[in-house]
Structure 1
């Protein structure tokens, strides 16, 4: 049998973009535009900002910022994504400053129908800029941690190991038993709750906000509320990390997630999703009676390992195709999706 590492290097990884990926990359931008259009309509119809309109602007701005950060983090080469990230962050900060300092003189002479969209964009720019700057902070934190990484052995990707009984190979990794739809819903709920809390805090501290200015107040909210909340949620979620093993035999896939073990023959498998990298690295196994989703990218990895999965060996492609599975491929080859051929 060919060496597993050679098989992995030669594997033609592929994936069709799943529904969760579309939700996390394309849908937020579309939802953001819809929310901002609704906010403009509300403002014109009610002739007053009001809390519903303000909340629509906050959520719409965050959706656009979220979509932008996802896009630049996925860009290749990485340097291009970093340059675009910095450029948009700086430009958006300067635009917000200009609107705060000189916006009234520019807007006062415009008709009411033109003021509403400008007001919507001005308020929505706050949460969008906050999320974009949080993304830059994460890049900056990664730069400062490189020195610590240099002192420690470089973490490596989990590797395939021959099974003791000689039937195929397996890989050990850490994962969270979560579905991508659950992560998406949790993200939306967290943004709504934090947005409402931020609005309430801005209203309660109206005098202080007026003295500091909207730009400083929004940045302070991101630093004091959004960033700690994100770290807190991530810490709580990571407590559910399980030590997992997945092995592909000649005719079956064996999955051990914590104390639970699943042995699924290839001929009974309905779908298998394999994503190697990013925060959404995961493996999904679906069969009648079993719907297993193990998210590797958000879990706390074992010492010396990275939170990702290795490439699938070529023999797995052959075995699953012989068992009647079809392979769907994506443009970026980030995910491999096997489905039962109809």
Structure 2
């Protein structure tokens, strides 16, 4: 067994501001909704592109909020529950009293409120899906404590004697494909939900806005997300990754890949969460192996262990620079 903390940790450079902005869901959500509001106030009729801006913008803000609560070491659950209640209250208020506000606040503010109401649908759906995921995870953790704790995959001494390896279940899929699939689900569920709420306005008013949220978030969004997860898990493969002195060795089921350090171009390692994965590129190999979405074997978690400290030094000597996310969730190596 290899002690991953045997050596002192290397310095952790801060991720550049431009990179954080480019990948900021909050920023994109605000920009998309601001664009939608500007177009609506400009007198443009709402068409499919306006709805796409609103739905994707609302989802971005909802996903950013869920990610924030997950990263919080304390009070994350409390904030998540409070956010779910607040977004539901906003939808209830705007649905019940939105039309009555027009003569009070004027057409422009009423238009903004209408955009917020539509954006709240995918945001609320994602927030409630995340809350249900927390509840499910808490139940699973309770069952694990009763039936025995699951352990994270661990590093083992490689039989070649020049490094260590780890076995883990993985799905060969790229992050952009997962993101596009989730956006597609959000767009489809949001579009169907908005269309149903508009088409069956009378029924929605009789059933109440709470039932509308349930229909959109649970009946449409949740089954679609679970279906995506089930489809991905069907492609789970047995993966092995080894860090040698001068090379990275990967095995996916029966396929084997070897990348010399001098040919390696990029390595990304995310240890935890649904997006736990390893990405490697170089020497004619381009792999992205998700373990967070894979089905783990009995007694194991769907995670990756910390990278052994000796690997940091080896890659540094090979000319690589390391970037680490602000909360240490993602470690990326690239050519300096």
TM-score by length of 1: 0.88
Q: Which moved more, 1:179-188 or 1:207-216?
A: 207-216
Alignment-derived partner of residue 181 in structure 2: 186
> Are the counterparts in 2 of residues 44 and 113 from structure 1 also a CA contact under 8 Å?
yes
**Deviation, structure 1 residue 14:** 4.9
Q: 2:39 aligns with which of 38, 42, 51?
A: 42
Alignment-derived partner of residue 312 in structure 2: 317
Alignment-derived partner of residue 89 in structure 2: 94
Matches within 5 A, 1:178-217: 178-217=173-212
Alignment-derived partner of residue 64 in structure 2: 67
> Are the counterparts in 2 of residues 11 and 312 from structure 1 also a CA contact under 8 Å?
no
Q: 1:222 aligns with which of 217, 223, 230?
A: 217
Structure 1 vs Structure 2 CA RMSD: 2.7
Matches within 5 A, 1:2-81: 4-5=2-3, 7=5, 11-12=9-10, 14=12, 22=20, 26=24, 28-46=25-43, 49=46, 52-75=49-72, 77=73, 79-81=74-76
After superposition, what is the alpha-carbon deviation per residue over 1:284-342, rounded to whole angstroms, capped at 9, x for unaligned?
A: 1111311111111111112211111111112112222222222223322222222223x
> Are the counterparts in 1 of residues 37 and 115 from structure 2 also a CA contact under 8 Å?
yes
Matches within 5 A, 1:100-111: 100-111=95-106
Report the 3-state secondary structure (helix = DSSP H, G, I; strand = E; otherwise coil) of the residue aligned with 1:270: strand
Matches within 5 A, 1:249-288: 249-288=244-283
> Are the counterparts in 2 of residues 92 and 129 from structure 1 also a CA contact under 8 Å?
yes
Report the 3-state secondary structure (helix = DSSP H, G, I; strand = E; otherwise coil) of the residue aligned with 1:273: strand
**Deviation, structure 1 residue 23:** 8.4
After superposition, what is the alpha-carbon deviation per residue over 1:120-148, rounded to whole angstroms, capped at 9, x for unaligned?
A: 22232232222212211111222223332
**Deviation, structure 1 residue 201:** 3.0
Relative to structure 1, the CA distance from residue 112 to residue 220 in structure 2 (aligned partners, 3 Å threshold; closer, same or farther) is same
> Are the counterparts in 2 of residues 13 and 311 from structure 1 also a CA contact under 8 Å?
no
Q: 1:118 aligns with which of 113, 116, 125?
A: 113
Report the 3-state secondary structure (helix = DSSP H, G, I; strand = E; otherwise coil) of the residue aligned with 1:86: helix
Relative to structure 1, the CA distance from residue 215 to residue 39 in structure 2 (aligned partners, 3 Å threshold; closer, same or farther) is farther
Q: Give the distance between the partners of 1:115 and 1:276, measured in 2 at CA.
A: 45
Q: Which moved more, 1:38-47 or 1:110-119?
A: 38-47
Relative to structure 1, the CA distance from residue 134 to residue 152 in structure 2 (aligned partners, 3 Å threshold; closer, same or farther) is same
After superposition, what is the alpha-carbon deviation per residue over 1:9-56, rounded to whole angstroms, capped at 9, x for unaligned?
A: 85448576599x958961x32232233223323333447555554454
Alignment-derived partner of residue 145 in structure 1: 140
> Are the counterparts in 2 of residues 16 and 335 from structure 1 also a CA contact under 8 Å?
no
After superposition, what is the alpha-carbon deviation per residue over 1:149-199, rounded to whole angstroms, capped at 9, x for unaligned?
A: 123221111101111232211110011111112222222222222222223
Runs of 5+ unmatched residues, structure 1: none
